[in-house]
Amino acid sequence: MGTATWEALSGNPVSNSVFDDVHQVNHVRLGHEADLVVVAPATADLLAKAATGQAGDLLTNTLLMARGPVLFAPAMHTEMWQHAATRANVETLRGRGAAVLEPATGRLTGADSGPGRLPEPQVIFDAAMALVQGQTDFQLPLAGRTVTISAGGTREPLDPVRFLGNRSSGKQGVALAVAARNAGATVRLLAAHMEVPPPAGVEVVTVETALQLREAALAAAADSDVVIMSAAVADFRPAVVSDTKIKKRDDSADPVITLVRNPDILHELVEVRNAAGDEARQRLIVGFAAETGDSHGDVLAYAEAKLQRKGCDLLVVNHVGSDKVFGQDTNSVVILARSGSEPQEASGTKAEVSEAIINRIGFELNSVSPRA
């Protein structure tokens, strides 16, 4: 693609040489005026030049003159990305404060595949937004707050091959992490099995089982202002996990699997907070309820009872079924508050729903624990 194409697509002038518009001193001006510099793709050669402070062209001059954050989106063959020289250059750049994304994994130019693909545009965009908003996060509803979010579905092993799981894709939890990050929060994502990658700009703690999630959630809650338990957690786990694959028996007898209850993580988080004293009570705990409803009551009736039973501050309720919520890109929820305020409805894409949830959380948190 040439200069004319970029100018037509962007609606902006394009410079590609130190000697373009010399009277405007572009090799200085561009870096000084930029709120953010994004280098995509960032090749191994470019990373090396940036790490060693070279200034042989307009881009490297701009990088040296940049006053705002700099984001690199690497793209190269796997061996080049993993080479010790490239790894050292990446660490050098990160040590100076630049953001260097991890490349995506997949098919490269040729028959080979592996880490080295350019990150997806949405990943680059999310990282760019996080960097820009980091410069002005004092204006955002969750600025200075730490938010822990669980996402995805837990898996309880039966044997080395099989597990008990659920349909959760992790999309809603990831969307919540993006919304919280964009609202100025420091975000910690407790990631169970997810069908989508975690977003840039958040800390990720990987878990598999409910017991692992419980341990991670209790540890993270200690320094969190908000804990959002949006993961789909297994209510039960096998009492015994076989060390070898469970095989069909010659006598055709059906296997018997005994299940035991998993801990109620949400309720335990509330109990730990309430036992810690007044200061800890300012922490906001948010639960999720996936309800189907039946002849004994509607979805909201179940959810209201769950809210009181769990003791959390907010409960986000979605009506689930074979064709609803799980794996979809849209959602419809009702936000219930233990304070007794009117239920709030939110629907749309999971990103839009997440923004509504995070805005409500910001309002509730700043009511009970105003920022200094």
Q: What is the pLDDT of residues 248-263, one digit of tens each?
A: 877 778 888 999 999 9
pTM: predicted TM-score of the whole model, two decimal places = 0.66
306 is in an annotated binding site: yes
12 in catalytic set? no
**Mean pLDDT, range 160-167, rounded to an integer:** 92
State the CB neighbour count (10 A cutoff) for residue 12. Answer: 8
Amino acid 337: pLDDT: 92
Same-domain status, 168 and 309: yes
Last residue of some domain: 97, 128, 159?
128
Last residue of some domain: 66, 95, 128?
128
Same-domain status, 227 and 284: yes
Question: How much of the chain, in percent, has pLDDT values that exceed 70?
Answer: 90
Q: Quick one: CA dihedral 28, 30, 31, 32, positive or negative?
A: positive
Structural domain that includes position 80: 15-128
Same-domain status, 279 and 214: yes
Could you tell me if residue 6 is inside a domain? Answer: no
Catalytic site residue from 89, 166, 182, 318: 166
Same-domain status, 205 and 235: yes
H or E stretch at 213:
helix 210-221
Q: What's 323's DSSP letter? A: T
245 is in an annotated binding site: yes
Same-domain status, 101 and 20: yes
Report how many domains make up the chain.
Answer: 2
Same-domain status, 119 and 149: no
264 is in an annotated binding site: yes
Same-domain status, 77 and 168: no
310 is in an annotated binding site: yes
The upper half-sphere exposure of residue 144, i.e. CA atoms within 13 Å in the direction of its Cβ, equals 8
**Mean pLDDT, range 291-320, rounded to an integer:** 81
Q: What is the pLDDT of residues 250-301, one digit of tens each?
A: 777 888 899 999 999 999 999 999 988 766 656 899 999 877 765 445 778 8
Last residue of some domain: 66, 98, 128?
128
For residue 268, give the nearest of 213, 341, 321 by alpha carbon.
Answer: 213
Amino acid 88: pLDDT: 93
Which range among 15-29, 154-168, 218-232 shows the weakest confidence by mean pLDDT?
A: 15-29
Which range among 52-61, 292-301, 334-343, 349-358 shows the weakest confidence by mean pLDDT?
A: 292-301
263 is in an annotated binding site: yes
Amino acid 137: pLDDT: 46
